[in-house]
Amino acid sequence: MAVSDAEDEEESAREVLARELQRLRSVSGKSLAQLAEEVKYDRTYLNRLENGERLSRREVMEALDRVYGTGKLLVGIWSLARRGAFLDRFQLFVEYEAKASVMHKYMMSMPGLLQTEDYARAVLTSAPTRISEMLVEDRLAARLGRQELLERSPLPSVRFILDEAVLRRPMADRKIWCDQLVRILEAAEAPNIAVQVLPFSAGSHDLMGGSLSLLWMDDGSGVAYLEGNKSGDLIEDRAEVNQHWLSYDRLRDLSLSPTDSVAFIQQVMEASSP
């Protein structure tokens, strides 16, 4: 699907969701205040949903479905709108990434910027719903194409913090897995790239919910991108970005040094060799 198609889908789904929320409340005869009392969400927040200004969260749609007796209707429409919004926000993040001079990433999964072709293909074809070979190739090309960012001129300064969980979930194909570990070690040798491992022994931290990317531009501006399973949130507010930077900075202090991280990955690779 082209980005423009995704944007059209998002706009359509947003509009449908907003209109349906307005229609259901009108049919029910409820005021915003009455609805807010029943679902336990602020009336201003509900009004923004009806105006299409917010997409909200799944649990809000579930609560509204219960109140209106609409089964999973609103959840279904919201899912379509959310999918389109994710694609749109991720595309904007990719545009920022292409201009960033500094990238700091904490990853709960193998970074797309470091994936080998075989590893990326295995991930893209692992979903329970089968997708066409053409779509796989398109997504593969897009993912591998992003890796050119690591070698552009001038070189960006890049730091990857890999959660130990990333290294403890090998591919079923041992060769693909070992080749992927070699790729990480090769990247760690680049003068502009640092790789660190956050060990399980570091304990809990406030970024455990997903991956985080921090990007800084030459003009000093920055953005953050929080990514979970099939969802993402681009943050452009400077104060919020700074808060995530502080979280990342603490995480870096808990991680193994780049030298010790390379030794750790080498040990994992030796234990995984076929």
Q: What is the pLDDT of residues 226-243, one digit of tens each?
A: 987 666 789 999 999 999
**Where a domain ends, among 83, 116, 139?**
83
- Provide the token pair at 116: 């080998």
- The total number of structural domains in the chain stands at 2
Query: Is residue 71 located within the same domain as residue 118?
Result: no
Q: Which of 7, 82, 17, 95 is nearest to 52 (CA)?
A: 17
Query: Is residue 73 located within the same domain as residue 185?
Result: no
Count Cα atoms within 13 angstroms, Cβ side, for 257: 2
pLDDT of residue 3: 38
pLDDT of residue 86: 54
pLDDT of residue 97: 92
pLDDT of residue 215: 97
Query: Is residue 111 located within the same domain as residue 63?
Result: no
Query: Is residue 75 located within the same domain as residue 169?
Result: no
The CA-to-CA distance between both ends of the chain, in Å, stands at 38
Query: Is residue 135 located within the same domain as residue 233?
Result: yes
Q: Alpha-carbon distance 80 to 229, whole Å?
A: 16
- Is there a domain that residue 89 lies in? no
**CB neighbour burial string for 222-253, b if at least 16 within 10 angstroms, e if fewer:** bbbbbbeeebbebbeeeeebeebbebbeebee
What residue numbers bound the domain in which 256 lies?
A: 100-272
pLDDT of residue 28: 94
**Where a domain ends, among 57, 83, 109?**
83
Alpha helices for 100-195 (secondary structure H) = 117-124, 133-146, 164-167, 174-188
- Is there a domain that residue 90 lies in? no
Q: Write out residues in the chain with pLDDT < 70, as ranges.
A: 1-12, 55, 82-88, 229-231, 274
What CATH number does residue 24 fall under?
Answer: 1.10.260.40
Quote the percentage of the chain above a pLDDT of 70.
Answer: 91
Query: Is residue 182 located within the same domain as residue 260?
Result: yes
Place of tokens 């234990």: 271
pLDDT of residue 10: 42
Beta pairing class for 222-228 and 211-216: antiparallel
- Is there a domain that residue 76 lies in? yes
Q: Alpha-carbon distance 49 to 161, whole Å?
A: 37
pLDDT of residue 184: 98
